[in-house]
Amino acid sequence: DDAWRIEDALAFQVGGVNCAHLVTTRFPEIALQFAHDGSTVVHELSEDEGMSLLARLAPEVVASKPGEVRSLVGAVGGLPLALTLVGRYLWSHFYKDQPYRLSA
């Protein structure tokens, strides 16, 4: 969630007319003020959808620690961006031979 106030969103609006801007916020009014021609709502994922996303990003971790991973899905509220970041973190630490760090 980049923008909690419209001023936060406007700080990201740099560049020329050919630039695209992507701002995430939980507040529809900020999205509407920032993107006058429309915004896209990204809904939270269900627990099963979150597990499926993490299984694509870090399959070995999900297979070896499904209970802990399911707790992570709940801890981030099913937010797709948060789950993507978590999944990439889990994958990177699994493949760096640091599985002990995943237990903490």
pLDDT at 103 (0 to 100):
55
DSSP code for 103: G
- The per-residue pLDDT for range 11-68, each reduced to its tens digit, is 888 888 898 888 888 899 999 998 878 888 889 999 999 999 999 999 999 999 999 9
pLDDT at 97 (0 to 100):
64
57 with 25, same domain: the answer is no
Cα-Cα end-to-end distance for the chain: 25
Question: What's the CA gap between 7 and 26, in Å, rounded?
Answer: 15
> Residue 77 pLDDT > 90, yes or no?
yes
DSSP code for 18: T
> Residue 100 pLDDT > 60, yes or no?
no
Number of structural domains (the chain) is 2
79 with 31, same domain: the answer is no
State the residue range of the domain holding 28: 1-41
What's the average model confidence in pLDDT over 73-96? 90
pLDDT at 44 (0 to 100):
95
Question: What's the CA gap between 14 and 79, in Å, rounded?
Answer: 26
23 with 62, same domain: the answer is no
